[in-house]
């Protein structure tokens, strides 16, 4: 057994890591064979996953199942069609037609068994307690942690799985295209002078998107610093974490986004007004400058491609600036 890397692969992985901060930790070894033209071909590779387990992945697995929407879309970005879907995935038509295995946070184990996957990509946030049950279907289980995928998980997952599944070049091309889109949008937003922000979920308590989430990645790609610090309680278990009004007041972000809970425009309008009229929020820059905004229901990693999330969010900001500055 020995490690085999082509110069091209090394260059692509290094560039992907530079762009997204992505790397597979604990790479162990690669078995290779030689084809009729005497070219080395990878047979299997051993990785260490985010639960600290050594996982052997055969070359070119045929039936891959990803247990989150973001992981599913990352597979599509490197030209791999998963064998099934999580039911919260509603991005592409082909993905929506796949057989379902339940919601990301409530996986139907029997449905997983029925698909007979040979590789399952599971989130350590949501599926660590299912390790034994998932393993009973005979598939290889690889656990990933969004917090360890890179500084921009929204697209870093593509380079992460690209390295895992020997699709680095496809991942690089995709990531580069998203960065190009993001740079164009950042230049359009430069005149707004929006430097800091936060994405909130409308629940009984205030919860905010961590940086190591799709929403946090979206802010970063648009050049907006997320005010939510890393390492808050329950950060390893959920995309949104408790974040009280006092912490928001202290950071005083330039812009506040509230994730729309539904497509009901009237209810979303009332929700926004409730925040704007709350006396606890009145001294915030975002409120005073009319920069507390509803993120449309479609701007969601379960419903939109990363490129669409970026473009639609930039459009929301620019339309609001235009209306407010008339």
Look at residue 11 in the predicted model and tell me its pLDDT: 42
Same domain, 154 and 22: yes
Q: Considering the domain boundaries, does residue 51 fall inside one? A: yes
Q: Considering the domain boundaries, does residue 183 fall inside one? A: no
Q: Which residue is it, tokens 């609001």?
A: 320
Q: Considering the domain boundaries, does residue 181 fall inside one? A: no
Q: Helix, strand or coil for residue 51? A: coil
Same domain, 146 and 226: no
CA distances from 295 to 188, 207, 224, 290 (A): 19, 15, 15, 14
Domain range for 312 is: 193-324
Same domain, 159 and 198: no
Q: What is the CATH number of the domain that holds 15?
A: 3.40.50.1980
Distance CA 293, CA 307 (A): 20
Residues 99, 85 contacting (CB under 8 angstroms): yes
Residue 155: name the closest of 141, 128, 175 by CA.
Answer: 175
Domain count, the chain: 2
Same domain, 117 and 56: yes
The string of DSSP letters for 181-222 reads HHHHHHHHHGGGT--EEEEEE-SSS-EEE-SSSHHHHHHHHT
Look at residue 326 in the predicted model and tell me its pLDDT: 61
Q: Considering the domain boundaries, does residue 185 fall inside one? A: no
Q: Considering the domain boundaries, does residue 182 fall inside one? A: no
Per-residue pLDDT in tens (0 to 9) along the chain, 326 residues: 223 333 334 344 444 444 444 445 444 444 443 344 455 455 568 888 888 888 888 888 999 999 999 999 999 999 999 999 999 999 999 999 999 999 999 999 999 999 999 999 999 888 989 999 998 989 999 999 877 777 787 788 899 999 899 899 999 999 999 999 999 999 999 999 999 999 998 877 888 988 888 899 899 999 999 998 877 666 566 778 888 889 999 999 999 999 998 889 999 999 899 888 889 898 999 999 999 999 999 998 888 899 999 999 999 999 999 887 76
Residue 295: name the closest of 279, 322, 323, 316 by CA.
Answer: 316
Same domain, 27 and 138: yes
Distance CA 156, CA 220 (A): 12
The encoded tokens of residue 319 equal 């339309």
Same domain, 117 and 217: no
Task: Write the CB contacts of 77 (distance below 8 Å, at least 6 apart in sequence).
Answer: 158, 170, 171, 174
Same domain, 296 and 217: yes
Same domain, 33 and 110: yes
Same domain, 319 and 219: yes
Write b or e for each residue in 311-322: b if 16 or more Cβ atoms lie within 10 A of its Cβ, otherwise e. Answer: bbbbebbeebbe
Same domain, 153 and 212: no
Same domain, 152 and 198: no
Residue 101: name the closest of 80, 82, 110 by CA.
Answer: 110
Q: Considering the domain boundaries, does residue 259 fall inside one? A: yes
Same domain, 150 and 235: no
Radius of gyration from C-alpha coordinates of the chain: 21
Q: Considering the domain boundaries, does residue 186 fall inside one? A: no
Q: Considering the domain boundaries, does residue 23 fall inside one? A: yes
Residue that finishes a domain, picked among 141, 172, 203: 172
């Amino acid at each position: 057994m020995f490690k085999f890397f082509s110069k091209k692969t090394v260059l692509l992985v290094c560039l992907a890591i530079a762009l997204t901060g992505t790397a597979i930790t604990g790479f162990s070894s690669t078995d290779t064979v030689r084809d009729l033209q005497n070219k080395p071909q990878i047979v299997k590779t051993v990785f260490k996953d985010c639960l600290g387990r050594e996982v052997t992945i055969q070359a070119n697995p045929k039936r891959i199942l990803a247990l989150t929407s973001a992981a599913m879309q990352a597979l599509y970005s490197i030209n791999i069609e998963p064998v099934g879907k999580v039911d919260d995935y509603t991005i592409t038509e082909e993905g929506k037609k796949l057989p379902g295995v339940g919601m990301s946070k409530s996986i139907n184990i029997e449905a997983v068994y029925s698909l007979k996957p040979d590789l399952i990509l599971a989130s350590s946030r949501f599926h660590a307690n299912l390790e034994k049950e998932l393993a009973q279907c005979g598939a290889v289980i690889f656990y990933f942690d969004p917090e360890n995928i890179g500084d921009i998980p929204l697209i870093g997952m593509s380079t992460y799985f690209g390295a895992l599944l020997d699709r680095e070049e496809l991942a690089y091309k995709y990531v580069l295209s998203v960065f190009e889109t993001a740079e164009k949008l950042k230049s359009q937003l430069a005149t707004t002078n929006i430097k800091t922000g936060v994405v909130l979920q409308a629940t009984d308590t205030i919860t905010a998107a961590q940086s190591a989430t799709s929403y946090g990645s979206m802010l970063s790609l648009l050049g907006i610093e997320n005010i939510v610090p890393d390492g808050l309680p329950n950060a390893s278990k959920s995309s949104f974490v408790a974040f009280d009004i006092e912490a928001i007041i202290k950071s005083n972000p330039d812009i506040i986004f509230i994730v729309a809970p539904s497509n009901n425009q009237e209810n979303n309008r009332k929700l926004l007004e409730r925040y704007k009229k709350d006396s606890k929020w009145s001294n915030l820059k975002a409120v005073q400058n009319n920069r507390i905004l509803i993120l449309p229901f479609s701007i969601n990693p379960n419903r939109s491609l990363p490129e669409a999330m970026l473009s639609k969010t930039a459009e929301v900001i620019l339309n609001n600036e235009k209306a407010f500055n008339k």
